[in-house]
Amino acid sequence: MIRLGLAVVLALAACGKSKCEKYADMEWKCGKFPASEKDITLKLAEGMCEASDSDKALAKFAKEADCAAKAKDCAAYKACTDAVDP
């Protein structure tokens, strides 16, 4: 029974978006980009977030991704990112 519960929890976690996917979504949602730039904006934001894991010069993107993972709306996201990058 415990194994089944653990399998369900792991399966549900695997279905969720990654931190970088959430970051890209929040950047798109809150960034006021033209609709024609949606795909490129999502790809660039996700790529910068993923690159920040291995490049200290891109640490800002990792911090913003943490904000995106916690924020429920654009106001909360902006407040968090403003505090991270004054």
- Over residues 33-86, the pLDDT tens digits come to 999 999 999 999 999 998 887 777 788 888 999 999 999 999 999 999 999 876
Choose among 80, 85, 43, 84: nearest CA to 51: 43
pTM of the model: 0.67
Q: Which residue has the higher pLDDT, 11 or 61?
A: 61
State residue 4's pLDDT score: 43
The amino acid at 33:
F
The amino acid at 19:
K
